[in-house]
Amino acid sequence: MSVRAGVMGVGLAVIACLSVGCGDNSPTVDPQEDQAPGPPGGNEFPTEPPPGSSTDGGTLPPEEDGGTTPDDGGTPDAGPTPIPDGGEPPGAGPWPVDATLDYTRTFGVGTPQSVGIDEGLNVWLLDGYRIGVLRPGDKAPTWTSGVGQARQPFGPDSLATGSTVICGGEAGRAYVGYRANEMKRAPGIEQRSYIPGPGEDFYTPERYAEYQKGDLDAVRLQADGKVALEEHLWRTVKSSNEGKQLGIHNTNDFHYEEDRSVLNCARVTRGRDRGDLYITTNHGVTRIQGLTYNSHRHPGWYLYENGSEWGSLQCPYMHGLGIAPNGDVLVANEQMLGVLVPSDKLEDWDREFTWEGPTPWSFKSFNEVLNGQATDDYWRAFEQVSSGRYYLGSAEYGVWAMTPKSRSTGNWSKLAGLPTDRIQALKATDDGALYIGTNGQGLWRLEKDGTTLAPVKEVAGQRVLQLVYEPTVTPAMLLVLTDRGLTVLRGP
């Protein structure tokens, strides 16, 4: 079991888990550090609610549960891709419409680690230090090396320890995620994630430089097909960060550097929020519009040990990320999962009032059928199919179907029939199916009935790395990235 914790100190009395809520991203609990009252300098922290409080960001007792159903709240249902004003349905787009096409063989894309597609239908590829772009009409991708955080060799003392994922944005733009080591505690500083600025107590240039590590680059496609850095993301929505080009850090107080490693990303492809990007990190989920971000939300819970009145807020690494058909944001860290209802304002994203407020949780809980709350479930994917049923994929425990009973409890059942419990990716498609990417047994398809399951033998590779869905063309595109390369399915 791996439990990660953060510090709760004194400060605001109402908000339960604002973006400074989990101050320690280390993989294990340090009792001395995680019960500290807060950093020097009088920075505000949410006041920790008493156990069982309905504002503590955890689950409610059954008798207090409001009983929200999947239909309560949420953004308006985006539904299928709308027909444009001209009355014509979406076109096929610039790519072949073969039901199955191996892009590694056809276009020579190789075996990248991550794939994305932008609004202009350029296909983006990430391979370590290299970024590749396959433009409509190209016979092969054009590769560029050493851009942004990859301009230095990867390592613990560099800008990043490695690259992680790539996601398309508006036409000609992509976002590239990187990882960095967790912050270390410095002398005189109670929280590992706290970084003093110039002129402040305990400031050092070395610690201040930690702001530049990891995070997210926005890159731009050039006329020759190569890629250039547009910006290392730093713009946010609140005055604490104004003018400070320091990468992604806590929106409400730039002193806290918690989102250092980007683990997953997803672009909203339709509906009111089309074009928004979400990234999950070592700490939570951050929302991005263009070059502006607001961090972060996490379905945390409090761990009380040895009779202490101070609980440590648990916020493990977050890999699971999906966009529901109605635009809700589905997130799952190693222990908990949640469904967030985004408002139309980016500045609302980090306003945490649990079940209320402008960006409430409509569901927030854990799989009590599988493990206790303090035990990692290793969630890697979270999707909702057109029937309304949710599915979660675990790196160790298979695929689980979940239908909420209330806003903090669900009916859970494990999907039978898969040859492995090692799941890497899930993707719901407009035909009602769920595609399941395994780690070792290839790609599988679960039909709309929720029981019929079969392997997708046309896709080469045993380890599925990523599934990306592009429904804005007809037939829709499902990009399947495996250890053997990239295959595109048309029509799911």
Cα 286 to Cα 439: distance, rounded to the nearest angstrom? 27
The answer, yes or no, to whether residue 66 has pLDDT greater than 50, is no
Supply the DSSP string of 191-231, one letter for each residue: -TTB-PPTTSTT--HHHHGGGGSSEEEEEEE-TTS-EEEEE
286, 259 Cβ separation under 8 angstroms: yes
Mean pLDDT of the chain: 85
CB environment 139-161: b (16+ within 10 A), e (fewer): eebbbbeebbbbeeebeeebbbb
pLDDT above 80 (res 11): no
State the Cα–Cα distance between residues 21 and 49, nearest whole angstrom. 12
Mean pLDDT of 480-487: 98
- For residue 47, is pLDDT > 60? no
Distance CA 481, CA 488 (A): 9
Mean pLDDT to the nearest integer, 418-427: 98
What CA–CA distance (Å, rounded) separates 207 from 18?
Answer: 23
What would the two tokens of residue 147 be?
Answer: 């851009």
- Inter-residue contact 484 to 461 (CB < 8 Å): yes
Phi, psi (degrees; rounded to nearest 5) at 469: -110, 130
Residue 168 C-beta-side C-alpha neighbours within 13 Å: 25
> How much is the pTM?
0.84
HSE at residue 224, side-chain half, CA atoms within 13 A, is 5
Is residue 22 very low, low, confident or very high in pLDDT (cuts 50, 70, 90)?
low
Of all residues in the chain, the percent with pLDDT exceeding 90 is: 76
> Got the DSSP string for 45-57?
EEPPPPTT-TTSS
Token pair 């107590």: residue: 201
Label residue 89 by pLDDT band (50, 70, 90): low
- How does pLDDT run across 235-278, given as a tens digit for each residue? 999 988 888 999 999 999 999 999 999 999 999 999 999 999 99
